[in-house]
Amino acid sequence: MEYDEAVRVRGLVKRYPDKVAVDGVDLDIHRGEVFALLGPNGAGKTTTTEILEGYRRADEGEISVLGTDPARGDRYWRARLGIVAQTTRDEAVLSVAEMVTHFAGYYPNPRDPDQVIAAVGLDEKRKTRIRTLSGGQRRRLDVALGVIGNPELLFLDEPTTGFDPEARRQFWTLIEDLRTEGTTILLTTHYLDEAEHLADRVGVIADGKMVEVATPDTLGGRGARTARVSWLSADGPREVRTDRPTAEVARLMTQYGGEVPELQVRRPSLEDIYLELIGSAAAAPALEGAVQ
Ligand SMILES: Nc1ncnc2c1ncn2[C@@H]1O[C@H](COP(=O)(O)OP(=O)(O)OP(=O)(O)O)[C@@H](O)[C@H]1O
């Protein structure tokens, strides 16, 4: 039964008057996984996410979120979702603790507000008025409000924008804990290290199309992961691409009788591979145009 998937999307299309924002996207998010949606500005990530949340309507496609078509989702369905949107609009006069407690009241089975406030690192700001929080603190509050309802499926749209490095690490721990508890998470992020650290699978979307879905360490195919062994030979810099860098290093050690000058072994990072993927996705239409 398709209910095994938290999210199942086939042929999703969303058109705006001057733009096809989402152009035939298929997407499965398994129950209990963290799925990161990556893509450049304007790729269609927020549009896709908001359709799954029931805030925008698709023009075409089959969509199931926790077994329900979001266009028909009622408040019981909505209570099973947690949403941390890209921007928050309110300028509430409430304190952090009041706001989180207030939100807890909307849900049938909320988490403990004090624990949630502590988990996002806002303990010291419990009594602070929300409008006086810094940008990063406000973002932590957004995350608290997204998880207070104990959601089965959590949408996080660029959740750590504005976080300092320590807050980001703390947030990662929170997400790992939620995942351990079985929460399914759809994460949109521009931080590739965040995707690599948190996601079971990543999907790269470019110009409204899903370019590839894979685990962070298989994205771009095995070939893209080939190691580069470089060193300084008597004739100048040398580089070898190989699937067996250890054997290459051993060979060089024998050849040099020990220390190999300026030896380096490098593999492309997720960011290198991502940039390559979106670069080739962007180049494809231009090439087509060139031959016409
Ligand atoms: N309400 C709207 N009306 C018209 N066009 C829109 C609307 N919302 C988004 N778009 C356009 O659709 C495309 C996809 O936008 P979307 O916000 O989904 O991208 P994104 O991948 O989330 O980008 P970002 O990383 O900048 O948040 C963009 O070209 C955007 O300008």
Q: Is the CB of 203 under 6 A from ligand 1?
A: no
Nearest CA to ligand 1 atom 19: 42
> What integer pLDDT is reported at residue 286 of this predicted model?
43
**Of 18, 22, 23, 45, which is best to mutate to test ligand 1, by the most ligand atoms within 8 angstroms of its C-beta?**
45
Q: Is the CB of 87 under 6 A from ligand 1?
A: no
Q: What is the pLDDT of residues 169-215, one digit of tens each?
A: 888 998 998 999 899 999 999 999 999 999 999 999 999 999 999 99
Nearest CA to ligand 1 atom 1: 16
Which atom in ligand 1 lies closest to the alpha carbon of residue 48? 18
- Read out DSSP for the chain? -GGGEEEEEEEEEEEETTEEEEEEEEEEEETT-EEEEE--TTSSHHHHHHHHTTSS--SEEEEEETTB-GGG--HHHHTTEEEE-S-------SBHHHHHHHHHTTSSSPPPHHHHHHHTT-GGGTTSBGGGS-HHHHHHHHHHHHHTT--SEEEEESTTTT--HHHHHHHHHHHHHHHHTT-EEEEE-S-HHHHHHH-SEEEEEETTEEEEEE-TTTTTHHHHT-EEEEEEETTEEEEEEES-HHHHHHHHHHHHTSPPTT-EEE---HHHHHHHHHHHHHHHHHHHHHH-
CA angle 115, 117, 121 (to 5 degrees): 110
> What integer pLDDT is reported at residue 149 of this predicted model?
94
> What integer pLDDT is reported at residue 284 of this predicted model?
59
Q: How far is the CA of 187 from the centre of ligand 1 (A)?
A: 17
Contact between 150 and 3 (Cβ < 8 Å): no
Q: Decide: pTM greater than 0.80.
A: yes
SS (H, E, C) 144-165: HHHHCCCCCEEEEECCCCCCCH
Q: Is the CB of 139 under 6 A from ligand 1?
A: no
> What integer pLDDT is reported at residue 134 of this predicted model?
85
> What integer pLDDT is reported at residue 155 of this predicted model?
96
Q: Is the CB of 44 under 6 A from ligand 1?
A: yes
Q: How far is the CA of 209 from the centre of ligand 1 (A)?
A: 13
Strands 81-84 and 153-157: parallel
Which atom in ligand 1 lies closest to the alpha carbon of residue 44? 18
Per-residue pLDDT tens digits of the chain, which is 292 residues long: 445 799 999 999 999 999 999 999 999 999 999 999 999 999 999 999 999 999 999 999 999 999 999 999 999 999 999 999 877 666 678 999 999 999 999 999 999 999 999 988 899 999 999 988 888 888 889 999 999 999 999 999 998 887 888 888 888 998 998 999 899 999 999 999 999 999 999 999 999 999 999 999 888 876 667 888 999 999 999 999 898 999 999 999 999 999 999 999 998 888 888 888 888 777 655 444 333 3
Q: Is the CB of 189 under 6 A from ligand 1?
A: no
Task: Determine the Cα–Cα distance for residues 184 and 81; give it in Å rounded to an integer.
Answer: 10
Partner residues linked to 241 by β-bridges: 228
Domain ranges of the chain: 5-214, 227-266
User: Which fold is adopted by the domain 5-214?
Assistant: Rossmann fold (3.40.50)
Q: Is the CB of 225 under 6 A from ligand 1?
A: no
Tell me, what's the ipTM? 0.96
Task: Determine the Cα–Cα distance for residues 291 and 279; give it in Å rounded to an integer.
Answer: 19
Nearest CA to ligand 1 atom 18: 44
Give the chain's mean pLDDT: 89
CA angle 157, 15, 82 (to 5 degrees): 25
